[in-house]
């Protein structure tokens, strides 16, 4: 089916970052034309007073943890993980699928069309991805068998998952690692070898807290980035989430090896991790940086518009410099730089002919976004707009959000079922 988005403000995110007033023609799931399109289409959507932008990309997530939303607020990371592990041990495969499906709905409705996940039972997350119609870059988590609740070998589980899902249109499998606190050198080596053998990406937590860094240095004599460099794990397949507690030399090491960073400001702030990821130094060194919401247990929401705003404000506040992290650069982190982090910038992250038609249409005709004009639209997207302003979501040319409602699944039924699962898990009635 062909689709014509008529008369919107097109935020291309192309190399020239052009903002075009016009149309976007979608044919066969890809972007066929941009500008003043004279052709018609099977469906025409009026985008007057709307911004048409590339679907946002969330590069660090644990989507099935919607089931844990609100169970560990106002506690530090260690306390949060203790509660999370206790509930994780009770989850069934069906629970994971439903939790993931709920998260996919939330993301689609707020303009996110792709996400990068780190979890076990990613095959159940994949079911939710396909049912919702979102793109999932799914990393099966590997850790030492002494620490896992997985049945069998985590590394073998990851290998089976990758082989099963390679080549899927919506699901891109990869290999994850929990972090240096539960992964030995052997786990890192095995995961990297698997990723290289299968030609897929790697995804891990890295230097999220001061405790993680100093405990590892006490154990090994090296900080986590230094240690991973020494054992030969750092590479351009890797997306490292957080990277808050890193030195300038470590930033240079990440850049030297082509490691990409997923910055998660809201989660880091809520967990009081302390410190602020040194984005200006990462930019200067040439590190590709993107944005992630992290888990619903440590963020509560998945609104990438909120994440962009928090990112910008945190950098400005911590540096005492209002010019740091300008709106255009932060929008890049959620679009084209995120696609680059996942090594799919040839297909996603910008509105250009030939790329996949993953798009979000945002209503600017709202009190909180008025007045809008050519000069302030990019800034409005970062500082004023909200996920709730999304009217349409399109993935691969398919309209998955229509006038604010998900078209692929029954949202009410999913919400009801997850509420029932939560009551069973917590032993608390609604």
Has residue 430 got a pLDDT over 70?
no
A 10 A CB-CB count for 157 gives 20
Q: What is the DSSP letter of 67?
A: G
Residues 251 and 398 in one domain: no
Residue 84 in domain: yes
* Domain-located, residue 414: no
The residue segments making up the domain with residue 394 are 3-54+348-406
| pLDDT, tens digit, 9 for 90 and up, residues 345-381 | 999 999 999 999 999 999 999 999 999 999 999 999 9
Whether 133 and 186 share a structural domain: yes
DSSP assignment of 348-369 equals: SSS--TTSB--EEEEE--SGGG
Average pLDDT, the chain: 96
Q: Looking at the structure, tell me whether residues 237 and 356 fall in a common domain.
A: no
The pLDDT tens digits of the residues spanning 87-102 come to 888 899 999 999 999 9
Residue 107's nearest CA partner among 132, 137, 138, 139 is 132
In total, how many domains does the chain have?
A: 2
CATH of residue 186: 3.20.20.140
317 and 362, same domain (yes or no): no
pLDDT of residue 87: 86
Residues pairing with 361 in the sheet = 52, 392
**Assigned domain for 428 exists:** no
Q: Is 376 exposed, middle or buried (0-12, 13-18, 19+ CB in 10 A)?
A: middle
Same domain, 278 and 359: no
Q: What is the pLDDT at residue 426? A: 85
What's the whole-number mean pLDDT along residues 200-209? Answer: 97
Measured distance CA(224)–CA(421) in Å, rounded: 37
Please report the pLDDT score of residue 429 as a whole number: 57
DSSP 430: -
Whether 34 has a pLDDT exceeding 90, the answer reads yes
Are 114 and 258 members of one domain? yes
pLDDT tens-place string over residues 256-267: 999 999 999 999
- Please state whether the peptide bond connecting residue 299 to the residue before it is cis, i.e. omega within 30 degrees of 0: no
What is the band of 269 on the pLDDT scale with cuts at 50, 70, 90? very high
The CATH code of the domain that includes 358 is 2.30.40.10
Residue 411 within any structural domain of the chain: no
Same domain, 292 and 368: no
Which of 293, 322, 341 is a domain's end point?
A: 341
pLDDT exceeds 70 at position 210? yes
* Pair 126, 93 in one domain: yes
Residue 413: inside a domain: no
For 296-338, what is each residue's pLDDT tens digit?
Answer: 999 999 999 999 999 999 999 999 999 999 999 999 999 999 9
DSSP character for 75? S
pTM of the model: 0.97
> Quick one: 44 and 68 in the same domain?
no
How would residue 418 be classed by pLDDT, with cut points 50, 70 and 90? very high
pLDDT confidence bin for 178, thresholds 50/70/90? very high
Choose one of 292, 326, 341: the last residue of a domain: 341
* Average pLDDT of span 19-42: 96
Asked if the structure places residue 8 within a domain, the reply is yes
Q: Are residues 95 and 121 in the same domain?
A: yes
- pLDDT at residue 80, as a whole number: 84
CA dist 31 and 353 (Å) reads 5
| Residue 200 and residue 310 share a domain | yes
Establish if 427 belongs to a structural domain.
Answer: no
Mean pLDDT over 269-278 rounds to: 93
**265 within a domain of the structure (yes/no):** yes
* Tokens, residue 332: 């890049």
Same domain membership, residue 106 and residue 36: no
């Amino acid at each position: 089916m062909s689709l014509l988005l008529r008369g919107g403000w097109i935020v291309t995110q192309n190399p020239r970052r052009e903002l075009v007033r016009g149309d976007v023609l979608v044919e066969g799931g890809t972007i066929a034309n941009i500008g003043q399109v004279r052709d018609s289409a099977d469906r025409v959507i009026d985008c007057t007073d709307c911004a048409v932008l590339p679907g946002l990309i969330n590069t660090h997530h644990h989507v099935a943890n919607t089931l844990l939303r609100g169970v560990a607020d106002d506690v530090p990371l260690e306390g949060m993980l203790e509660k999370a592990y206790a509930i994780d041990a009770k989850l069934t495969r069906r629970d994971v699928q439903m939790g993931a499906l709920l998260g996919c709905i939330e993301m689609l409705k707020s303009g996110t069309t792709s996400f990068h996940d780190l979890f076990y039972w990613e095959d159940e997350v994949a079911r939710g991805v396909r049912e919702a119609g979102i793109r999932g870059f799914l990393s099966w988590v590997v850790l030492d068998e002494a620490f896992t609740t997985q049945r069998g070998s985590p590394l073998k589980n990851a290998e089976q998952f990758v082989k099963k899902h390679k080549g899927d249109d919506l699901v891109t499998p990869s290999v994850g690692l929990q972090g240096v606190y539960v992964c030995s050198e052997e786990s890192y080596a095995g995961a990297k070898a698997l990723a290289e053998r299968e030609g897929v990406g790697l995804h891990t937590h890295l230097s999220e807290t001061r405790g993680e860094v100093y405990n590892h240095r006490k154990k090994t004599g090296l900080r986590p980035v230094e240690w991973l460099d020494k054992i030969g794990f750092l590479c351009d397949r890797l997306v490292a989430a957080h990277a808050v507690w890193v030195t300038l030399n470590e930033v240079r090491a990440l850049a030297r090896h082509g490691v990409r960073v997923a910055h998660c400001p809201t989660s880091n702030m809520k967990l009081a991790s302390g410190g602020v990821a040194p984005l200006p130094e990462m930019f200067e060194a040439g590190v590709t940086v993107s944005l992630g919401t992290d888990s619903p247990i440590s963020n509560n929401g998945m609104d990438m518009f909120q994440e962009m705003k928090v990112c910008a404000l945190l950098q400005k506040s911590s540096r005492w410099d209002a010019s740091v992290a300008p709106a255009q650069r932060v929008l890049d982190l959620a679009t084209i730089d995120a696609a680059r982090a996942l090594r799919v910038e040839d297909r996603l992250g910008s509105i250009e002919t030939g790329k996949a038609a993953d798009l979000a249409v945002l209503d600017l005709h709202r009190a909180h976004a008025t007045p809008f004009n050519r000069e302030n639209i990019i800034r409005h997207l970062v500082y004023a707009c909200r996920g709730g302003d999304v009217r349409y979501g399109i993935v691969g040319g398919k309209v998955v959000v229509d006038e604010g409602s998900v078209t692929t699944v029954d949202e009410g039924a999913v919400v009801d079922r997850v509420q029932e699962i939560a009551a069973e898990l917590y032993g608390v009635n609604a």
